A and B are shown apart, each in its own frame.
Chain A
Amino acid sequence: EAGVTQFPSHSVIEKGQTVTLRCDPISGHDNLYWYRRVMGKEIKFLLHFVKESKQDESGMPNNRFLAERTGGTYSTLKVQPAELEDSGVYFCASSQDKELGTGSVSEKLFFGSGTQLSVL
Chain B
Amino acid sequence: KNEVEQSPQNLTAQEGEFITINCSYSVGISALHWLQQHPGGGIVSLFMLSSGKKKHGRLIATINIQEKHSSLHITASHPRDSAVYICAAYQLPDYGGATNKLIFGTGTLLAVQP
Contact = CB atoms under 8 A, between A and B. Distances in A.
Nearest to A46: B101
Contacts of A44: 104
Contacts of B4: 42
B48 A58 contact: no
Interface string A42-77: 111100100000011011000000000000000000
Interface string B1-23: 01010000000000000000000
Interface residues of A, number: 29
Instruction: Tell me the interface secondary structure of chain B in the complex.
Output: strand
Interface residues of B, number: 29
Interface string B26-54: 00001101010000011111001111100
A78 to B, nearest CB: 21
A113 B38 CA distance: 11
Contact of A105 (B2, B50, B102): B50
Interface of B: 2, 4, 30-31, 33, 35, 41-45, 48-52, 86, 88, 90, 98-107
Task: Give the top 6 A-B pairs by smallest Cβ distance, nearest first.
Answer: A111-B43, A43-B104, A113-B42, A105-B31, A105-B50, A42-B106
Given A45-B102, A110-B45, A111-B43, 13 more contacts: A33-B102, A35-B104, A42-B2, A42-B106, A43-B104, A48-B100, A98-B98, A104-B50, A107-B100, A111-B35, A111-B42, A112-B42, A114-B43
